[in-house]
A and B are shown apart, each in its own frame.
Chain A
Amino acid sequence: MALPWLSRSLSGLLMETASLNCQRNFSVSAVAAAIQKMTRVRVVDNSSLGNTPYHRPPRVIHVYTKNGVGKVGDRVLLAIKGQKKKALIVGHKMPGERMAPRFDSNNVVLIEDNGNPTGTRIKVPVPTHLRKLEGDYSKVLAIANSFV
């Protein structure tokens, strides 16, 4: 199951094959950054596509903004389980506005082309300023359990 330790899961897989002294062959940067191409994200809804385990974590392959940087409320294209799927960013590790929440993982909700969510529930808290996008993503907000 996708856990908050997703960013370490890659290195964790390698660690089991490598020696016990936790030496890895590449650097896993835990830099707090917004979401761009090739970021590994965590799918937080209860859709089957997001929650079934796969040997590769879901990665962003395109960000639908003018610059390639995705913040909360932006659409991205993910590569999950060998297929392309659109998703909505609901939280990132990068500190943003002063009074807005910052999450410990880059959270993403799977979405169809028309904006309807794939899953039926979002357990993870979601920032309240997503409500501004009431028209487009009202269904996503409807399935969110808690707001921060």
Chain B
Amino acid sequence: MAACTKRLDRFIISLRLLRNLQLQNERFLSTSPCLRVAGNDSESPKFVPPSKPVIVDKTQTVASLRKFLSPEFIPPRQRTDPLKFSIERKDMIRRRKVLNIPEFYVGSILAVIMADPNASGKSNSFIGICIQRGGKGLGATFVLRNIINNQGVEICYELYNPRIQKIEVLKLEKRLDDNLMYLRDALPEYSTVDPEMKPVPFSPTGEVPVNKIKVRMRPKPWSKRWERPKFNIQGIRFDLSLTPEQMEHAQKWAQPWLEYDMLKEYDTSKLEEQIFKEVQQEMSK
């Protein structure tokens, strides 16, 4: 206590000294240079401070302020030791500190640059729409689809593969479904992405825009029977390709008891919060 009071006294004394010094200096300085000049000019120029240079760092993307946990962090419901998942999460965070893996959803348009020993310039870039995000942990993948020279191409990228040099989100948006595999059977215009597309600016806060587009399909046969209720697809215009009788016939494969099956319930909300906090802490270190 005595030490604190001593320090306080010294602080107050130093403040007073500073104040005195300031007053003394001000006496010698003239505080009205404009008034002197005004005697020569007819107008008195107001002091306009120079505009501050706005430094925009375009190399760093704005980190998302939305509360988003990448789905591969959430461990599946298994009989494995939680230690395995926590070790995996550590490795995933280590990789994320090196490479910025942005927030994206199925339906967003991404550009990926990958190291390729066989490609010219050692790196290979691909732009496409994300149609599926699969896998958990370090083996998490996402499939990008694009149509180049009338040929549909899909590449399944591993998120944590060291060959990936950059992942950039050109357009962040969600779709009505989690899995857009039906784009293979849709008209090609829905899978074409301009290879020289510029990134569309999106706000780091607020809701992610949902694209409620309903896609037109090619004539049947499709690679899968997308009208069946097990796929639960909202984003196809079935009325253009199927008759109402066919839609009813597809409902024969409905399993309405599935939503009441308690053994299939897997509530991840608490796990998610826990893992989100953990990931945030580790990333900020």
Contact = CB atoms under 8 A, between A and B. Distances in A.
B106 interface: no
Nearest to B150: A4
Interface stretch (B63-71, B152-160, B199-207, B227-235): B152-160
A22 B217 CA distance: 15
Contacts of A46: none
A30 B223 contact: yes
A99 B149 contact: no
A103 B114 contact: no
Interface string B155-175: 111100101000000000000
Interface residues of B, number: 29
Interface in A58-72: none
Nearest to A21: B243
Contacts of A125: 148-149, 151, 153
A105 B223 contact: no
Given A98-B161, A99-B161, A147-B119, A105 B156 contact: no
Contacts of A145: 149
Contact of B163 (A95, A99, A124, A129): A99
Contact of A4 (B119, B141, B152): B152
A128 interface: yes
A124 B149 CA distance: 6
B141 A98 contact: yes
Contacts of A5: 218
Contacts of A104: 151-154, 184
B221 A30 contact: yes
B188 A4 contact: yes
A19 B188 CA distance: 26
A99 B157 contact: yes
Given A128-B124, A129-B118, A98 B156 contact: yes
Interface in B202-241: 218-223
Nearest to B158: A98
Contacts of B161: 98-99
A91 B153 CA distance: 10
Interface in B121-137: 124, 126
Contact of B148 (A30, A98, A100, A148): A148
B189 interface: no
B155 A148 contact: yes
Given A104-B152, A107-B151, A11 B221 contact: yes
B148 A146 contact: yes
A131 B198 CA distance: 30
A44 B114 CA distance: 26
Interface string B22-35: 00000000000000
A132 interface: yes
Nearest to A129: B118
A99 B155 contact: yes
Given A3-B150, A103-B153, 11 more contacts: A30-B222, A30-B223, A91-B151, A95-B156, A98-B161, A99-B163, A100-B155, A104-B152, A104-B153, A105-B152, A147-B119
Interface of A: 3-5, 8, 11, 22, 28, 30, 32, 44, 91, 95, 98-105, 107, 123-125, 128-132, 145-148
18 contacts: A5-B218, A11-B221, A28-B221, A30-B221, A30-B222, A91-B151, A95-B154, A99-B156, A101-B126, A101-B155, A104-B152, A104-B153, A125-B149, A128-B124, A129-B118, A146-B149, A147-B124, A148-B124
Interface of B: 114, 116, 118-120, 124, 126, 141, 148-158, 161, 163, 184, 188, 218-223
